């Protein structure tokens, strides 16, 4: 039984990701999405609740993917590209969702949720820009690593 435990290495937590700019940006996205979720829940707006909860879970899974270095083990996906697509589509969706919440609010929770949703959309735009800038297209890998430093 001890041989089986030695074959599977323990999960390595990447604390440097959580301290990096991208990690802090992802955590800030999660915080704003959670605040928007709470505001929409207090206002009893089911469509807004579902959208913010879904994006919160997707962002949480991406943070766990990078923090636990699962992106190194699951190499059949291009994770930065998936992250960019998620950020771009979520930013566009949250801009529309937040503007709808702001224009049709009847309860203060919907108004605050719409404002925080716009803040979250701004963070998602910044995240997609920084990720897209770091993805290599027709550049040698070493050249892009030198640009990041």
Question: Considering the domain boundaries, does residue 32 fall inside one?
Answer: yes
Question: Considering the domain boundaries, does residue 3 fall inside one?
Answer: no
Question: Considering the domain boundaries, does residue 6 fall inside one?
Answer: no
CB 94 within 8 A of CB 29: no
Q: Which tokens in the block code for residue 110?
A: 């919907």
Confidence (pTM): 0.81
User: In which domain, by residue range, is 42 found?
Assistant: 12-136
Question: Considering the domain boundaries, does residue 33 fall inside one?
Answer: yes
Question: Considering the domain boundaries, does residue 20 fall inside one?
Answer: yes
Question: Considering the domain boundaries, does residue 149 fall inside one?
Answer: no
Q: H/E/C letters for each residue in 76-101?
A: CCCHHHHHHHHHHHHHHHHHHHHHHH
* Domains held by the chain: number: 1
pLDDT in tens, the chain (149 residues): 455 555 666 667 888 888 999 999 999 999 999 999 999 999 988 889 999 999 999 999 999 999 988 888 888 888 888 899 999 999 999 999 999 999 988 889 999 999 999 999 999 999 999 988 887 666 665 655 555 44
Question: Considering the domain boundaries, does residue 147 fall inside one?
Answer: no
Rounded Cα–Cα distance for residues 17 and 15 (Å): 5
């Amino acid at each position: 039984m001890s041989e089986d435990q030695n074959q599977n290495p323990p999960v390595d937590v990447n604390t440097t990701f959580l301290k990096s700019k991208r990690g802090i940006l992802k955590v800030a996205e999660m915080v704003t999405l959670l605040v928007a979720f709470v505001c929409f829940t207090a206002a009893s707006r089911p469509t807004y609740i579902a959208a913010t909860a879904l994006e919160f879970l997707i962002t949480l899974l991406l943070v766990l993917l990078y923090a636990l270095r699962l992106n190194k083990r699951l190499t059949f996906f291009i994770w930065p590209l998936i992250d960019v697509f998620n950020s771009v589509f979520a930013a566009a969706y949250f801009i529309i969702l937040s503007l709808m919440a702001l224009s049709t609010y009847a309860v203060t929770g919907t108004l605050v949720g719409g404002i925080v949703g716009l803040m979250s959309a701004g963070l998602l735009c910044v995240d997609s820009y920084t990720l897209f800038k770091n993805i290599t297209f027709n550049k040698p890998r070493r050249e892009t690593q030198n640009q990041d430093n």
